[in-house]
Amino acid sequence: MKQMDTKTLANYINGEWMEAEHTAPVINPATGEEIAKVPLSSEQHVEKAVQAAKKAQKEWALVPAPQRAEVLYRTGTLLREQKERLARLLTMENGKVLEEARGEVQEAIDMAFYMAGEGRRLFGQTTPSELKDKFAMSVRVPVGVIGIITPWNFPIAIASWKSFPAIVAGNAVVWKPATETPMMAYELTKILEEAGLPKGVMNLVFGSGSTVGDAMVHHPNIQVISFTGSNEIGRNIAAECGRQLKKVSLEMGGKNAVIVMDDADLELAADGIIWSAYGTSGQRCTACSRVIVHEKVKAELEARLLAKIKHLTVGNGLNEEVKVGPIINKRGIEKIKRYIEIGVEEGARLLTGGYELIEGDLKKGNYFAPTLFTDVKGTMRIAQEEIFGPVVSLIPVKSFQEAIEVNNCVEFGLSSSIFTQDVKKVFRAQRDLDTGIVYVNAGTTGAEIHLPFGGTKGTGNGHRDSGIQALDVFTEWRAVYVDYSGKLQRAQIDVE
């Protein structure tokens, strides 16, 4: 394998590392330092990648699925061996604290081994035929060339959710990662290469969404687009894919709530809220940004949250003592500031935070104080719109039913949570909450790779990442009939 300068990344097309004419700096959000240069590729790079994938996919699909799976087993082993190194690189380019970065790499490891197991499953179905001496079955078959577009907030985990099931199912991949976090994409692609993935099965093309992403979405030889990102861009992708009758899988964020009932363990609830809201500095689609709290325990929960927020250390995620890292870039900081102003103007009461942190070494990076609003109404913009930062809104309610209604009154439907000791409320909540994921006595984060990940309403379009359900995005169902009667048999006619 050609050795690349880790400061200057390159595309990976048809088994070759290819430089682009133009690059952009990759900035460590904790320090403001340039840590790499990422290619800004053109439509021509996309075309080369698609042609390579199209050619490779035909041969890859003929490799028995258990043999395809061996590549993922080796990938998982290599990821595990390099876990600490990868976690530190992830923290440098993304900013999340090292503990969380290790967890994200572990997620990719888990996904590699889990999807490798599917190489000996990929179950179809057999069913009786209505005719004598006739066999009927359905099997999964690969779709072809898959385009995946991944975000910066989980640069290796989400990539594994999408690429590993696509690969084990016999597809080839063209991957556009976020330009903010290209190092994880580069490292994962090197590992897949080392694991023995044939050339052309994985093609990595760095660049902007407006150039590389747009070219992928419009390319007639990419049969599937799997996208994680904003609702606005996702809707545009869905519209274009609809015009082409191209399969598309979307995951587009959330406005997730923790419900705290008056019988809840408030210390446990506070811990769950702190972790869900301020982990990854609130920059994850499952982050808790709303707390729907019964008015009887609102004051006590506020006090517990304020005490815990006071002890959150903010800083460079490579410091093991830090609990809250930086915001990805200055645009993110400015967006959060605007929503703080909106919240105050709407009449919400700011309990703590609400400002950028610029003291000492923090001024070199992009840091925002963990923020807590209270006396928020469910219809306020800060309770409706995705902020993507360490900002939480406390919304008081009078009853369980009102809590459910407030949870469900937003555009998104990804994750929700309820803290209660009442088993009846637990089962009613998991029935009535309109999100794709529901937690009981835990925060809104913590998805495991063997369960489907995704949401309803403005969060997605019905498909799921991870779990065996992910295979539905990257395969088609084929019905097969084998008539061994030696004569013409007509279904629905020759049945008596």
State the Cα–Cα distance between residues 230 and 272, nearest whole angstrom. Answer: 25
In sequence order, what are the residues at sequence separation of 6 or more whose Cβ sits closer than 8 angstroms to the Cβ of residue 43? 211, 212, 215
Kindly state the tokens that stand for 283: 């920059």
In the structure encoding, which two tokens stand for residue 108, read together? 């990719």
411 is catalytic: no
Catalytic position from the list 104, 251, 302, 386: 251
As annotated, the active-site residues are: 251
